[in-house]
Amino acid sequence: MKARIPPQNRLSRETLRQCAEYANSLQDANNKRIFKLACYVLHVYFGFGTIRLLRFISFLDEFIRKNEGNEVFWEQVDRDMKRLGMEFGDEEYEDIIGDWKKKNGL
């Protein structure tokens, strides 16, 4: 009979920390790309200038940070988007990465 070793016990805490940092860096890079594309579209198709684009990024960043611990944030956003007739599909409301970090002491 083979023993089952949970993945978090196979890797050292340092390796798990480095994996989490790498995952966060990928997320940051994707966020930067989305911001760039949003700014490009807002500029080219809607005439936003530098000042309005900087305000957009600043407001969005502030909004995200302000709602970081809000457990019902995405549910509220989903509801508002539906009222506007925008069907993005509902978010998964569990913070899988947050749960993983808690389990692994990160």
Domains of the chain by residue range? 10-66, 70-106
Q: Say yes or no to pLDDT of 84 above 80.
A: yes
Q: How many CB atoms lie within 10 A of CB 16?
A: 19
Regarding predicted confidence, which is higher, 53 or 7?
53
pLDDT digits (tens, 9 = 90+) for 28-81: 888 899 999 999 999 999 999 999 999 999 999 899 889 888 878 888 888 999
The DSSP 8-state label assigned to residue 5 in this structure reads -
**pLDDT reported for residue 53:** 97
Matching residue, tokens 């007739």: 85
Q: Please tell me whether residue 82 adopts helix, strand or coil conformation.
A: helix
Largest CA distance in the chain: 67
CA distance 49 to 56: 11
Amino acid of residue 15: T
